[in-house]
Structure 1
Amino acid sequence: MKILSIVGARPNFMKVAPLHRAFLNYPDIESKIIHTGQHYDAKMSDVFFNQLELPKPDYFLGVGGGSHTQQTAKIMIEFEQVMKAEKPDIVLVVGDVNSTIACAMVAVKEHIPVVHVEAGLRSGDRRMPEEINRIMTDCISDQLFVTEIAGMNNLKRESIADEKVHFVGNVMIDSLVYYREKASRLTLLDEMGLKPKSYVLMTMHRPSNVDSEEGLKNILTIIKNTTVRKTVLFPVHPRTLKNMETFGLLDELRSLSDVIILEPQGYLEFLYLMENAEIIITDSGGIQEETTYLKVPCLTFRESTERPVTVEVGTNYLLSDLNPESVRELVSKILDGGAKEGHIPDFWDGHAAERIVDILREKYLVNQEQ
């Protein structure tokens, strides 16, 4: 059984790594990795592949940027050539990036089964390109692997056949569990003169938050208010850095006291910084899940979340806008001992990839042999 696993953006690497590792345990599975190059930074991609112990991708499509439509179209054209050369038995896609829906559509048109890992997530906001990608990918996939109960409910509501849907847990957490001890051996805090739980970790990159002067000024105010109580570590996303410069706010950011500005971090470095943070302030999707497992309070700036279990069960707080006063009050409440007690969701135990492989072998190998 030949499986092509698709990666296009950095979060995909963390999801494919435990799957590829699990596939290697079976001599009857041939696992190949296709990197579309949707998000590609040579330095960061190399860091992630090395840290996650992934082999060099079997194919690098190099599609680069462009509009969502251009990018999706380029991926489809390039991936079609890979499909013709490889003739896989399964195409495995993860998450919700353009690479996911593009490669899924090519596979379906070639009558190759599509497996979607992290299926069923819904924010309810169709203005988000990722939401459209999720809905379309789930609609055409043959096997759907779900991370949380809300995903099961969403797919049932959308009339996806029960036999296609499997509640297996979260492969992002597989990576976290696998690499946690390795990350703990890093010495970043010593190098910065900080102690565990002495800082708030911040990331901001979503266009709705960082593409306007108002949003960036609110981020600066949030940082200023937070540094009254804690040092702020801020790995700055290239988009955020560029916009800070465009609106003439970069010098102000750099002048703030008790703020440590960092370059984007590798996977192990960021895992280490998350685990040792007192609070995390972000607009990321995946960080909601990782902080829930680590039981670190997380303030997420999103109008909605496709991962409601992180709010209902975990340590995530959803904030609909960049209101500095709301953030100041919530940060103070948490620092004064008022954080909610979070729990780890069902099946977030580091074994999701193994459950996925067992199901795929039963569906596509054992049935063939019989």
Structure 2
Amino acid sequence: MNMTIVAGARPNFMKIAPIIETIKQKNTQGFNIKYRLVHTGQHYDKNLSATFFEELNIPFPDSNLEVKSGTQAQQTAAIMVGFERELQQHPCDLVMVVGDVTSTMACTIVAKKASIKVAHVEAGIRSGDMKMPEEINRIVTDSLTDYFFTTSTYANNNLKRLGVMENNIFFVGNVMIDTLLKNENRLKKPLIWKDLNLKKKHYLVMTLHRPNNVDEASQLKNLITQIATLGKDFSIIFPVHPRTKKLLQGLKLNFENLHYIEPLGYLEFNYLVKNAFGVLTDSGGITEETTVMNVPCITLRDSTERPETCELGTNVLVGNDTFKIEAAFEDLLSGNWKQSNIPQLWDGKAAERIVNHLVEIYKL
């Protein structure tokens, strides 16, 4: 079997890492699974350095299409042109895509037009919010996918409603949690821990990057002002996303308890999350990690493609509604936050299940 695995952004590599590790283990057992790792370059990230790959034992890509930034249409077109060339030069039996970034959708289209089967890891998740580019990517990808590897029964049911045959749906769990559990004992204090005199469960972590939170100055100003005021008794650690940084520079929001820092590496950031009193975020991936680490999570979005983090986990949706944010803070500060139940199959073995299914499908 010859497979091409696609990554388009930093989180994709963290999802792919356990899959490739499992493939290597299978090959030592006598199986013959060849893979080629392709980075589209959709997100140029200075943190995608040698340190990042070594830190998490992630293999370096065999190819980088170096697409970099651009509008949605420009990126999609550039990825498709580059990936078509990649498949022509390196034919394969299967293309594996992960998550819901533009690369996921674009490479799926190219593969199917080349009559190559597609496996989608994290298939079937839906937010119901068509204003999110990721939601469009999910819908298009799943309309073309052959093999659907899912993280939850919610995703299974979404696919079944679309008419996907049950024998093409494989409920495997969450590969992002594979990476978290493997590295949980390796998490390390960032330098700012000492610099800011942080103590376990005595600070909050905040991340913001969604357009409806960070692209409009007054909205961002109101949101940060409310959070800094409600959390006045806590240090608030805010690793600033590049798209957020530009707008923040003109707002001059200076609160004594609010600390702007550069984005952190995986091991340092998750150390902060694990030991935080609570997390405020608009990231779907972080809501998964806080659920597994049983850390209260206030999600600054109106919808989520990961409802299990709300139904079972520690996540509560508040959007940017001032009343909901205030109510969530009241629950957090009073100690009334719900405890997490870990979603089914979020046990660190998702990659093993994925590769085992591929072995069965291709009769290796």
1:114 equivalenced with 2:112 (yes/no):
no
Counting aligned pairs with the same residue, the percent is 47
Matched residues in 2 for 1:133 and 1:45: separation? 27
Contact persistence 1:279–1:297 (CA under 8 A): yes
Matched residues in 2 for 1:222 and 1:117: separation? 37
Contact persistence 1:225–1:328 (CA under 8 A): no
Instruction: Output the aligned Cα RMSD.
Output: 1.5
Give secondary structure in 2 for the equivalent of 1:321. coil
Matched residues in 1 for 2:302 and 2:94: separation? 35
Which of 108, 128, 133 is the aligned partner of 2:137?
133
Matched residues in 1 for 2:316 and 2:61: separation? 37
Match of 1:359 in 2: 357
Greater fraction helix: 1
Contact persistence 1:10–1:48 (CA under 8 A): no
Residue identity in the other structure for 2:43: H
Match of 2:201 in 1: 197
Tell me by how many angstroms 1:244 deviates: 1.5
Residue identity in the other structure for 2:255: L
**1:1-370 map, 5 Å:** 1-27=1-27, 28-184=32-188, 189-245=193-249, 248-249=250-251, 251-252=252-253, 255-323=254-322, 325-366=323-364
Matched residues in 2 for 1:43 and 1:310: separation? 28
Tell me by how many angstroms 1:190 deviates: 3.4
Q: Can you list the C-alpha shifts for 1:264-290, whole angstroms capped at 9, x where unaligned?
A: 111111111110111100111111111
5+ residue gaps in structure 1? none
Contact persistence 1:281–1:298 (CA under 8 A): yes
Give secondary structure in 2 for the equivalent of 1:234. strand
Matched residues in 1 for 2:140 and 2:151: separation? 18
Matched residues in 2 for 1:317 and 1:64: separation? 34
Tell me by how many angstroms 1:305 deviates: 0.6
Tell me by how many angstroms 1:75 deviates: 0.4
Give secondary structure in 2 for the equivalent of 1:111. coil
Matched residues in 2 for 1:256 and 1:76: separation? 45
Tell me by how many angstroms 1:184 deviates: 4.5
Tell me by how many angstroms 1:26 deviates: 2.3
Aligned residues: 360
Matched residues in 2 for 1:110 and 1:361: separation? 23
Tell me by how many angstroms 1:47 deviates: 4.2
Give secondary structure in 1 for the equivalent of 2:260. strand
Tell me by how many angstroms 1:156 deviates: 0.5
**Measured at CA, do residues 89 and 76 of structure 1 come closer, stay the same or move farther in structure 2, by a change above 3 Å?**
same
TM-score (norm. length: structure 1): 0.94
TM-score (norm. length: structure 2): 0.95
Matched residues in 2 for 1:191 and 1:365: separation? 55
Tell me by how many angstroms 1:222 deviates: 2.5
Tell me by how many angstroms 1:154 deviates: 0.3
Give secondary structure in 1 for the equivalent of 2:273. helix
Matched residues in 2 for 1:11 and 1:322: separation? 28
Tell me by how many angstroms 1:307 deviates: 0.5
Give secondary structure in 2 for the equivalent of 1:5. strand
Which segment drifts farther, 327-336 or 53-62?
Answer: 327-336
Contact persistence 2:126–2:305 (CA under 8 A): yes
Which segment drifts farther, 236-245 or 43-52?
Answer: 43-52
Matched residues in 1 for 2:46 and 2:189: separation? 25
5+ residue gaps in structure 2? none
Q: Can you list the C-alpha shifts for 1:119-162, whole angstroms capped at 9, x where unaligned?
A: 00011112211111101111111100000111011001000111
Give secondary structure in 2 for the equivalent of 1:260. strand
Which segment drifts farther, 36-45 or 151-160?
Answer: 36-45
Contact persistence 2:10–2:45 (CA under 8 A): no
Q: Can you list the C-alpha shifts for 1:69-107, whole angstroms capped at 9, x where unaligned?
A: 111111010011111111112111000001001111111
